[in-house]
Chain A
């Protein structure tokens, strides 16, 4: 566990006069959950997109250690290799599951798509695998042939997670996975993510504005403000004893129920 899975150095990106990222460094070790927190517009999602190679940075480099142990420069990779990475070794969980799911394809087809994209050509085995994954995310396998539009918001999010994890990725990017869900559903989903991530040893980069989510899931936290990382460290340390004024503000503005 002494080799980083993903490391970024000196990432900078601005959209015209707006600075989205300013000299950001980040590191992620295998099996670790890293939360990126901050208010809206602080550059969290942009950082996620740059780390995953979906958006090019103005400056800086992102290294990824592939399963063979070679370091790959994510932004210098040829498009086919990057897309293959996104299809197999990586996953991306969107805030809105409708952005990722095919809404006119059954739940089983949605889960099986990444398998078929990797060359699975046995209908029966694809179905078995899909059914097993639906069970893992607590969706009744009898709903396998139902359309996602008949699913509730929480089920859609769990379906998206099953669809992403079916190829056993080593690294998953999550953008506000619990956003837009009511509190009880959020709690269940967080519990599910925590269990799956721990059992499968997946490394996660998690973007959230919700400090409670970060505390529950992440081992480490990065606090961002106006494109800069203002504080980072172990979750409990950062949230219990914030050093930077902005982090202190964030922590103190959480409503206590």
Chain B
């Protein structure tokens, strides 16, 4: 595109972001401040993720963008088109073909490989934000690894609800050292963070923080010995492809209580259907 640098951001900005990324990879789970730029989309739409993607994108890369697991939602479509126009890179909806995957709120069902990078959009990078209002104090807590209050929150959940009632943005310990927010992915996806072969980068644009999990790093979801972490999913099969092991979205289909549970990962669902898997609702429709 004429008048713009490759992938929109100027090279100096990319350099600054790459420096922050290097530092973030060197200290897994530690939040590194960076000079977040104004981007042509509103805060909360992925300004952090889009800057990280711009900084790591090369001409040979193949980009996939998902929002809540779907390739065809507004946020995913517009960010994918943004990079197709400003960087001219190839885009795809297939997880296996992508080299860079920018995501909001999900990790693809298909296991990622060593030659892939996944970029998370993060609204609130500070996992202690709801417990401690002062950022000066939360930084001190990270520095001294004082994470007792987070366990107090889990304790309160068990006391009140009988189980740990965090269904998304479930706090994790990275490499046995830093408490980290995994971004608002469902707790269902937390086990995928652990020992993932792909490089995981996290960008928070409004909060101006970058953090990362290098490949094959231990990531543990916080829990108690007698109340271990459990990934939860809706107890149904996907209505379209019949999958019983994927994360499901609940879709209201009429005003008489009709419901459809479908894979939130659209690529996963389409791949399975192409391979001949048929779910109950899809069968009934035929």
Residue positions of A touching B, CB distance < 8 A: 79-80, 83, 87, 102, 105-106, 108-109, 112-114, 116-118, 121-124, 126, 145
Contacts and interface: CB of A to CB of B under 8 A. Distances in A.
Given A105-B156, A114-B148, A123-B158, 15 more contacts: A83-B144, A102-B152, A108-B155, A109-B155, A109-B159, A116-B148, A116-B151, A117-B148, A118-B148, A121-B225, A122-B224, A123-B224, A123-B225, A126-B155, A145-B159
Contact of A108 (B151, B159, B224, B226): B159
B159 A113 contact: no
A109 B148 CA distance: 11
Interface of B: 144, 146, 148-149, 151-152, 155-156, 158-160, 223-227
A124 B152 contact: no
B146 A112 contact: no
A106 B223 CA distance: 19
Contacts of A114: 148
B259 to A, nearest CB: 34
A79 B145 CA distance: 12
B216 to A, nearest CB: 25
A87 B227 CA distance: 25
14 contacts: A105-B156, A106-B159, A106-B160, A109-B152, A109-B156, A113-B148, A113-B152, A117-B146, A117-B148, A117-B149, A121-B224, A122-B224, A124-B226, A145-B160
A145 B225 CA distance: 20
A214 B286 CA distance: 86
A106 to B, nearest CB: 6
A44 B149 CA distance: 31
Contacts of A80: 144
A79 B143 CA distance: 10
A87 B145 CA distance: 13
A207 B192 CA distance: 54
Contacts of B227: 123
A121 B151 contact: yes
A112 B155 contact: yes
A126 B152 CA distance: 11
A117 B147 CA distance: 7
B225 A112 contact: no
B122 to A, nearest CB: 25
Contacts of B152: 102, 105, 109, 112-113, 116
B173 to A, nearest CB: 12
Nearest to A122: B225
B80 to A, nearest CB: 42
Contacts of A105: 152, 156
Contacts of A87: 148
A145 B149 CA distance: 17
A123 B223 CA distance: 9
Contacts of A126: 155
B156 A106 contact: yes
Contacts of B148: 87, 113-114, 116-118
B125 to A, nearest CB: 23
Contacts of A83: 144, 146
Contacts of A123: 155, 158, 224-227
A112 B151 CA distance: 10
A23 to B, nearest CB: 33
B170 to A, nearest CB: 16
Interface centre among A79, A114, A116, A126 (most CB of B within 10 A): A116
B151 A79 contact: no
B149 A113 contact: yes
A124 B158 CA distance: 10
Contacts of A112: 152, 155
